Structure 1
Amino acid sequence: MFPLEFEQPFIDRVWVRTGKMIKIQAGDCMQVEGTLRAPSLPRNPGAFNEKEYLFRRGIHAVLVPAEGEKSIQRLKTVDSWWRSLLATVRERVEVTLRTLFSPGEAGFLGGLLCGWTDQLDHQMEESFSVLGITHILAASGMNVALLVMPVWWLLARLSVQPWIRLMIILPFIAFYVGLAGATPSVLRAGIMASLLLIGKVMDRPVDLLTLVGVSAWVSIFIDPLILWDLGFQLSYGVTIGLIVLTPRLTTFFSFLPSILKNALAATLAAELVSVPLLIHTFHIYTPVSILANLYVAPFVAVLVPLGFLLLFMGLLSPLVTAWLVPLGNALLYLMLKPVLFIGKKEWLLMSFASPSPVFLASYYGGLLLLVVERLKRIQVVRKLSLLMIGVYLVALWCPVSPGKQLLVTFLDVGQGDSIFIRTPSNRVILVDGGGAYKSAHGEYNVGEKIVVPYLRNEGVRQIDMLILSHPDQDHMMGLFSVLHEVPVKSVLIPGFPDESESYKEFLALVQEKEIPLYLAHKGDRWDVDQGLSLQIINPPSPYIRGTRRDVNANCIVFELDYGNRSFLFTGDVEGEVEPLMQSSLHPVDALKVAHHGSKYSTSSAFLQTVHPRYAIISVGKNNRYGHPDQEVLERLEQEGARMIRTDEAGAVLCRTDGENLTIEVTKGMHK
């Protein structure tokens, strides 16, 4: 929160974050009372950076409305003919599409024709993302051309003078750009189309690269921060790639028919430019992206003009479109059915730990040298460019090995547990996956929002062992997303019976995916890596019964030893079970404090035995349980343990070579 109280009015852009359902429209003047705070920094490696995201949009603060009905009030509506016109037309277009097509198809066509993705079906959006074809939902050059060319042709047939035609069409282009949300891709297309028409009217030769450059400068002049927008980078990068690379790539496919040759060359050109940037941002890629783009391209080429035709006819009268709607439905079915089916195959996705920006610059620098006309025939330059591209590809496919380092990351998943372990030989163990809960902003799945993105950021393509400490919601629910998104070789569970529906669903999913399932028992031991062992300390056999909560009492507790360094993971084990583990315990370097610091665990006798140097507490900020308990904190302090809480420090990263141990957090460094 900001420590200052502003007595004088000031002007700035803020993001109002509220979970309330409020119907507003463009032009509404709202009064909001609440707490002004600084945008959040990421609390886990590779997580969404709210501060950076908002800054690039010129927003410097977040306003959280106060409780109460009067914290948000509509004062008045400022009439603006432009905003009102855009809002009215958009509403009319959406109603027309919903009249002609089913909700899912209408949402897709809204994206295809006008770049509106807010009505897109979630499953459709996921499939498009998996297959790398989301770009077809960004209104761009084809859309603008299909709108402008018929109007230009019609005006020419009516013998309208070129300058008058231009004066009619330029506002028409501006209107469509505004209707499509003025996203970087449609803004680029609108500016380039306008410049192209101006050049045509002036009878001046047009250079496409010059048009791209001028439109980029105009976009940056309108909004300088757009330079850091991924959509801007992809739109201009791919456009330049299509102009420069496509003619060169067609020579490699001279044996193919002309249409297929050009389509394949254009698809490859777009992939060569966009994929490294997408991997750098999202850390995932699917090898079938090229095939998916080749498959959907013909459908898009037909559906865009057909969609505009149906839309304009439907705006006049839905009845006159009756003879064309079945054709649209058939094309949509043929296009979307395979996409939705294949897009569910999570094994198609490959994760990459993105190399540093230096390697990314090496790739694009090499690509640039390769296509510069004056340099491409110089053998030394060609070899250098290929070397620079090769360096990036090697760094991408063969990330630097951790060497002798063991990495243990306690993720900040709010009120829950999720621990990532990467061994020196790149084996991966995931312990728990956090939970899923409802907040003021809707349902929040920790696995989908935090754990899976972290795994992607780490370039994890396979989990060697997934450990569920016990089937409590705050440990298990996030693992559903993990199992759906990342291949898992084996699952370890405590085995104590639990009749909850969510646990039954978890076991059913493991069985459905044919993942080997193992039961943990005290004394089990795995030599995970050279010099690295994992030993189970709880649950015993037979299981413990008659405790305050048997599920907690029988959770998995294990020790991880690497060289002279050791970690103890305690799940939610209860204090009444701690004496039963006493014979297997000894001093450790890092302790995962049991049950988020609950008063029912971490007794003085237990702490005197394990005597941890560091105590990591995975706990949610301002949680309703009052964790961690003050008495537990006092006992840890008395024992001399340095306490690190995820609600205060974010994710906790422990690195050791078996001798030295370094612990990093997102808000500083603990030595």
Structure 2
Amino acid sequence: MKRPVVQGCCLWISGYVLAIYTELPWLTWMTSALLLAALVILYALRLPGRQTLGALLLVVIAYGYYQGTDQRNITSLPLAQQQQISPDGSEATLLGRFASPVTIDGDRASFTLEAESVRFHDNTAFPLGGESVQVSLRLMEQAQQTIASGWRRGDALTLTGTLRSPSPARNFGGFDYRRYLRLHHTHWLLSAKGVDQAQVQPAAAHFSVVQMLRWNDELRAALSRCMDVIFPASQAGFMKSMLIGLTDDLDPERFQQFSQLGLTHILAISGLNIAVFLGVCIWILRRFKVAKESYLLICMGLLPFYVLVTGASPSIVRAGLMSMIALYAARRGGMKEVLHILAVAAWAMLVWDPYFLLDVSFQLSFLVTLGLILGVQRVTVLLTPYLTSPTLRNTLAITLVSQSVSFPVSIYYFNQFSLLSWIANAVLVPVISMIVFPAGLVALTIGLIYIPLGQRIGLLISWLNQAIFWITDQLQQIPHLTMIWPSPSMAWICFYYGFLVMIYLLWQRSYLHSKDKIPIILEVSTRRSTQGMPIKLSLLLAISGFLILLWMGYSPNRFQRTGLVQFIDVGQGDAILIRTPYGRHLLIDGGGTLTFHKAGDDWKIRKDPYEVGRKLLVPLLKKRGIQRLDLLVLTHEDADHSGGLQAVIEQIPVKQFLFNGTFKESSSMTTFFSTLVQKDVPLLPAQVDDWIDIDPVTKLQVIYPLETNPTMIEVVKEQNARSVVFLLEMQGTRWLFTGDMEKESEAAVLDYLRDHPALVGSSNSAARIISSNNKIDVLKVAHHGSKTSTTSEWLTYWKPAVAVISVGAMNTYGHPSPEITDRLVNENVAIYRTDRMGEVQMEVRNSGIFTRMKLWK
């Protein structure tokens, strides 16, 4: 068998993939152990057909191993007790040890607790056997930051707080925190207030694995403090991320910029760091005349230490394992093929933790490395007729291969691709990898010995970093070059790689047939392939098919003729995304995160706070392939409706902006309107007027505010009463969107409509004059179901069939009001609530409206 290790690894991964997408309960660890014994006997007896049967057995063994691991990934808490824990959580006291360093960000300390037992308020107690629990501790005073920062991994801890299950994804395609924590073998969250709820006992100093990890934490913290001194404050976080994998101080905006340009791999510790580290070590050892066998052995011993210091992410573990195997092979003169080394590293990691296969860092790291191993040399040869410079050929080949191989995985997880990514990687990666990173290591090493000299080197690096940041700033400002891609299906990804391989093979055959001249790809060769079709015509067809595949992946809903109204769960706020039957996109409001800070509370401000627009709404819009918003509607400027829109307009093009014609004085709204003006987005003050055509079967009609002066913006502090209210008619259905309007606004609208009965009739010109049928299909209930609106008169006038209440789970306002829900029930209106059901999607087809909900409680 050729390359048995590589083939075995591929079969093992195939078994895992089958286990992820199917379920056979009878396949467990025990079954896998028995089949493994059968596999050994099969090869020991050298039975005929052993290769085919062995391959099948290996896939089934991997299936059982993954499924057995997954079945055992459950909490130790008894099921009966789990059912008693309410969705809001239950008071509990955990006894255990710190299993991670304590991260402090503003008024929050977070860490992982290795819990030995749990005791509930009724004094019932259960052992947990060292189960991981994610802890979030709210700090009540600034002095508590110092106390919490003194806690260390391994210290004993007794902590009282609220124990609850992690929240699942509340939106279709949204981030699933519960699944994320489960893949890290964590099933519970504990939230507590104040360090007085914690009793900490420092761990006794004795040699152990925990003590080694504790020393490693202290070393990483010391290196972090050293870099704070060596590098300018604006660049320290950037250098920490690159050199030792600490991302806590990395500027979120800088990370977003690098992400949009496809440069995030620079900020992730990976094979590049290992290569530079080994290069420096080998260079130093060779200067001291150390023998080859000795310095290879020394480097093998240093690698695990370096992997730990840099955070032990999947990418650095992969690179570390590959390097250790390669060093061992070089020392012993065996297994020199890089592909085998990659397969051994992947197999070892997947046996250690099968969930690595689902980690984006693992996937990108191994895919890109595999692509570089298999593709760079071959592509370099094929580029020979076009480029005479070896350096340029190699650089272009590396960029082509790495970008092409990583593209489908990148858009699946990050949903964006910059057309400048190729240039940015080709220009900046060599500079950063060859100069900034090695120089940073030197500055850090020297700074540990003599700070002033390290600072001088750090100053030189900072000038180069400033030039790099200036280049990325300029590249990011070039409009229309960042493409937003919806997350593709697994079938699309498989076809992508299939076309990629096909194009390479045909290109290679075309090259071999045309060595004596520069091959012109679009030329139809007179030579024919073994199938009888001209090779270059085959290549042309393959490229055409590949381009069609990309076009389908970029806009999969291009020919879909159904409307979709999506009431996104953004917590206590509104965000409604509408896709019309002809592919227009409207966004109504953007949610927002309410923050309350008093004078002297600056210490509570977090470096990377949760912000609905950046963390939830924009990723969701990108995942759904929203490349442009044809109309953005802000019903009013309260934070729970407007807060998330700043991130939206920064990252997604907006064609028009409709608002209530007022301005609420605040720094956030000033920034918001300034950004709209800078981007030349037309500002449309809402006013009662004729129907606005969105597409051939979708129209919009503003019915409130009743009076708006489009030439003058009025400053209004209380915004609810000025909410934009409008009707939407789409493919024969009628929808009413109400913002946070109040009773007085409802009464004013009803009085106006009774005087203008044709205004809200059908948008059909003949029917508008005579129709007084005001019935609507769907009502978006105003103000999250507050009793300040949705009067009986309002419901009687509109006669809605369905009502949707956008409201946050466990909100402190008591929304929705029982008075309102009872009123809706009495009017025979079906109620959908985002707090209980998560996102609510309503699809408009010719046969009616079809509804689906993400959750149901």
TM-score (structure 2 length as normaliser)? 0.72
1:566 counterpart = 2:737? no
1:347 and 1:486 in contact (8 A); partners too = no
Query: 2:110 is matched with which residue?
Result: none
1:592 and 1:616 in contact (8 A); partners too = yes
> Which segment is superposed worse, 28-37 or 187-196?
28-37
In structure 2, distance between residues paired with 1:63 and 1:141: 34
Match of 2:587, SS state, is strand
RMSD value over aligned CA atoms? 2.9
The one-letter code matched in structure 2 to 1:35 is: T
Match of 1:653 among 821, 824, 841: 841
Query: 1:485 is matched with which residue?
Result: 651
Matches within 5 A, 1:391-470: 392-401=549-558, 403-438=560-595, 443-470=609-636
1:355 and 1:395 in contact (8 A); partners too = no
CA shift for structure 1 position 559: 0.9
Query: 2:76 is matched with which residue?
Result: none
In structure 2, distance between residues paired with 1:496 and 1:370: 56
Match of 1:32, SS state, is strand
Match of 1:63 among 179, 182, 189: 189
The one-letter code matched in structure 1 to 2:238 is: F
**Number of paired residues?**
664
1:45 and 1:457 in contact (8 A); partners too = no
The one-letter code matched in structure 1 to 2:168 is: L
1:14 counterpart = 2:182? no
Matches within 5 A, 1:263-662: 263-300=395-432, 301-321=434-454, 324-343=457-476, 347-368=480-501, 389-390=546-547, 392-401=549-558, 403-438=560-595, 443-496=609-662, 498-499=664-665, 502-541=668-707, 551-582=719-750, 583=754, 586-662=774-850
> Which segment is superposed worse, 206-215 or 245-254?
245-254
> Which segment is superposed worse, 492-501 or 9-18?
492-501
In structure 2, distance between residues paired with 1:57 and 1:503: 39
Q: Residues 36, 534 of structure 1: CA spacing in aligned structure 2 closer, same or farther, 3 A cutoff?
A: same
Query: 1:2 is matched with which residue?
Result: 82
In structure 2, distance between residues paired with 1:266 and 1:427: 39
CA shift for structure 1 position 340: 3.6
> Which segment is superposed worse, 264-273 or 302-311?
302-311
Match of 1:33, SS state, is strand
1:362 and 1:391 in contact (8 A); partners too = no
The one-letter code matched in structure 1 to 2:308 is: G
> Which segment is superposed worse, 338-347 or 113-122?
338-347
Q: Residues 171, 438 of structure 1: CA spacing in aligned structure 2 closer, same or farther, 3 A cutoff?
A: farther
Q: Residues 154, 571 of structure 1: CA spacing in aligned structure 2 closer, same or farther, 3 A cutoff?
A: closer
The one-letter code matched in structure 1 to 2:465 is: L
1:592 and 1:615 in contact (8 A); partners too = yes
1:359 and 1:395 in contact (8 A); partners too = no
Query: What does the per-residue CA deviation read over 1:555-586, in whole Å, with 9 as the maximum and x for residues that have no partner?
Result: 21111112331111111122223233333561
Match of 2:808, SS state, is coil
Query: What does the per-residue CA deviation read over 1:6-36, in whole Å, with 9 as the maximum and x for residues that have no partner?
Result: 7431222222233445323333332233333
1:346 and 1:485 in contact (8 A); partners too = no
Structure 1 unmatched runs, 5+ = none
In structure 1, distance between residues paired with 2:809 and 2:542: 50
> Which segment is superposed worse, 325-334 or 481-490?
325-334
Query: 1:25 is matched with which residue?
Result: 152
Query: What does the per-residue CA deviation read over 1:474-521, in whole Å, with 9 as the maximum and x for residues that have no partner?
Result: 212221211111111111112256555554443333223221111222
In structure 1, distance between residues paired with 2:612 and 2:430: 38
2:779 and 2:804 in contact (8 A); partners too = yes
In structure 1, distance between residues paired with 2:667 and 2:303: 55
In structure 2, distance between residues paired with 1:657 and 1:132: 39
In structure 1, distance between residues paired with 2:470 and 2:671: 27
Match of 1:244 among 374, 380, 387: 374
CA shift for structure 1 position 162: 4.9
Query: What does the per-residue CA deviation read over 1:417-469, in whole Å, with 9 as the maximum and x for residues that have no partner?
Result: 11111111111111111122238995432222222122111211111111111
2:166 and 2:189 in contact (8 A); partners too = no
2:136 and 2:191 in contact (8 A); partners too = yes
CA shift for structure 1 position 127: 1.5
> Which segment is superposed worse, 265-274 or 624-633?
624-633
Match of 2:127, SS state, is coil
The one-letter code matched in structure 2 to 1:262 is: N
CA shift for structure 1 position 540: 1.1
Q: Residues 554, 209 of structure 1: CA spacing in aligned structure 2 closer, same or farther, 3 A cutoff?
A: same
Query: 1:173 is matched with which residue?
Result: 303
Query: 1:182 is matched with which residue?
Result: 312
Q: Residues 478, 138 of structure 1: CA spacing in aligned structure 2 closer, same or farther, 3 A cutoff?
A: closer
Match of 1:461, SS state, is coil
- Bigger relative CO (Cα 8 Å, ≥ 6 apart): 1
In structure 1, distance between residues paired with 2:292 and 2:778: 76
CA shift for structure 1 position 325: 4.3
Match of 1:73 among 185, 199, 202: 199
CA shift for structure 1 position 551: 3.6
> Which segment is superposed worse, 216-225 or 389-398?
389-398
The one-letter code matched in structure 1 to 2:843 is: R
In structure 1, distance between residues paired with 2:316 and 2:543: 33
Structure 2 unmatched runs, 5+ = 1-80, 85-119, 140-144, 511-528, 597-603, 710-715, 761-773
Query: What does the per-residue CA deviation read over 1:258-295, in whole Å, with 9 as the maximum and x for residues that have no partner?
Result: 11211111011110111110101121111111111111
CA shift for structure 1 position 74: 1.8
The one-letter code matched in structure 1 to 2:390 is: S
CA shift for structure 1 position 337: 2.2
Match of 1:103 among 209, 213, 233: 233
Q: Residues 177, 489 of structure 1: CA spacing in aligned structure 2 closer, same or farther, 3 A cutoff?
A: same
1:41 counterpart = 2:168? yes
CA shift for structure 1 position 648: 0.9
The one-letter code matched in structure 2 to 1:425 is: Y
Match of 1:3, SS state, is helix
In structure 2, distance between residues paired with 1:667 and 1:346: 38
CA shift for structure 1 position 550: 6.8
The one-letter code matched in structure 2 to 1:265 is: A
Flag the structure with larger Rg. 2
> Which segment is superposed worse, 360-369 or 387-396?
387-396
Match of 1:437, SS state, is coil
Query: What does the per-residue CA deviation read over 1:157-207, in whole Å, with 9 as the maximum and x for residues that have no partner?
Result: 656555544443222111001111111121111111111111111123510
CA shift for structure 1 position 589: 1.0
Q: Residues 503, 16 of structure 1: CA spacing in aligned structure 2 closer, same or farther, 3 A cutoff?
A: closer
Query: What does the per-residue CA deviation read over 1:302-336, in whole Å, with 9 as the maximum and x for residues that have no partner?
Result: 22222222222222213444664454233223223
The one-letter code matched in structure 2 to 1:222 is: W
In structure 2, distance between residues paired with 1:496 and 1:278: 41
In structure 2, distance between residues paired with 1:441 and 1:653: 35
1:435 and 1:475 in contact (8 A); partners too = yes
In structure 2, distance between residues paired with 1:505 and 1:106: 27
Query: What does the per-residue CA deviation read over 1:45-94, in whole Å, with 9 as the maximum and x for residues that have no partner?
Result: 232111221122222x1222344544333233254442243234323322
Q: Residues 578, 245 of structure 1: CA spacing in aligned structure 2 closer, same or farther, 3 A cutoff?
A: same
In structure 2, distance between residues paired with 1:118 and 1:50: 19
> Which segment is superposed worse, 387-396 or 459-468?
387-396
The one-letter code matched in structure 2 to 1:433 is: G
In structure 2, distance between residues paired with 1:130 and 1:78: 47
2:555 and 2:625 in contact (8 A); partners too = no
Q: Residues 576, 119 of structure 1: CA spacing in aligned structure 2 closer, same or farther, 3 A cutoff?
A: closer
